[in-house]
Structure 1
């Protein structure tokens, strides 16, 4: 089991009851140590004693004394992992219509979080204000361009650009294709194809049905 908050995957997650699964998702959404009064206010149910014992026994939550003889419920690292597993799961067999609609949606969310390499804790604890990591190669292409262009927006050959970037060609190609979709970024073919050296031909990137040889990035 890898011990990273929001990413930890429990090797053998014990089957949970539907109330326990609901409690986990409620605590995930709130992202803090909360009493039953807060859970009831937000979701119109409370974590019953039997459910609390089930989650504690599995190591998914910890319970500490709160004000006015209340209990504070908080996810453990294993609990965050169980929530991430829950986003991959199918709706429970006896789930009502709301759950049956809910699970396909969170399945899509989980796949998106995996794609952009963001954890549940990143999203929940930041109140949803999370910035996806820059894909590998994008910053390197921009940096190399800035080093080579005399002025912003000047054309730079991909042959010279590739010489500056110490990354595999496929990563640079994907970065160029992503950047080409952004405003102010342009990839074009050399007008005078006869003037192209073998080095420049090999450095070209295929976009659509045409080889592109030059890159320009306008200041943002």
Structure 2
């Protein structure tokens, strides 16, 4: 990859993947003896891999959409000062991507590490998977989440099937969908992923608001 991630930056992505939530530098220090600061924070923010916000006097970090995509690709853990640890991380990460995900109930790391109550069963339908993904992305029930953010995590599902599942969801009593109020912020991907509901193209969904 052309992003030239250092072993430390790659390790931070793995930690944020495993946590699958917003976590502050003080908590990172307490739990893992690491922090994300300075040039590495700026680099990961600019690449779109990590979103960082100031909470009090410290920064808190969460893996962003591009970060979730990035952890599905090879990462650099080759540190001359810790070759055994780097080899262990590489082996674990590669086997999760190449052996565990293709044969398990989960299709994406975002699903695997989601903090929703229970994992998807092999027979779960697509609507159930969308609901679980929404739960992993929304800070609380009823929060607005982009259709695009959910669909990116279901990239292996045919578009026609996703379109139908979102259409059915739009009719559920506990689901609301609305257009993006600032249309100028919409990307081409957002427009492609719009769901026709209530006679208008919607770009955001909320579950559990009613």
TM-score (norm 1): 0.49
Candidates 104, 110, 116, aligned match of 2:97: 110
Deviations 1:95-140 (CA, angstroms, capped at 9, x unpaired)? 52112122112222212112335211111113795235239xxxxx
**Counterpart of 2:154?**
none
RMSD over aligned Cα atoms: 2.6
Per the alignment, in what secondary structure is the counterpart of residue 73 of structure 1?
strand
> Is the counterpart of residue 82 in structure 1 residue 85 in structure 2?
no
Unmatched runs of 5 consecutive residues or more in structure 2: 125-210
In structure 2, C-alpha distance between the alignment counterparts of 1:18 and 1:132, rounded to whole Å:
35
What pairs up with 1:30-179 in 2 under 5 angstroms? 30-67=19-56, 69-85=57-73, 88-89=74-75, 91-92=77-78, 94=80, 95-111=82-98, 112-116=100-104, 117-126=106-115, 129-134=118-123
Larger radius of gyration: 1
SS at match of 1:134: coil
8 Å CA contact 1:123, 1:129 repeated in 2: no
Deviations, residues 21-43 of structure 1 (Å, cap 9, x unaligned)? 11111111111111101111111
Cα distance, 1:90–1:35 mapped onto 2, change above 3 Å: closer
Distance in 2 (CA, whole Å) between partners of 1:55 and 1:123 is 22
| Runs of 4+ with deviation above 3 angstroms | 88-91, 126-129
Aligned residue pair count: 122
Change (3 A) 1:50 1:62: same
Give the TM-score of the pair, scaled to structure 2. Answer: 0.51
Flag the 1:90–1:115 CA change in 2: closer, same or farther, 3 A.
farther
In the alignment, the residues of structure 1 paired with residue 94 and residue 121 of structure 2 have an alpha-carbon distance, to the nearest angstrom, of 19
Contact kept, 8 Å, 1:56 with 1:62, in 2: the verdict is: yes
**1:179-198 aligned within 5 A:** none
The residue aligned with 2:11 is 22
SS at match of 2:3: coil
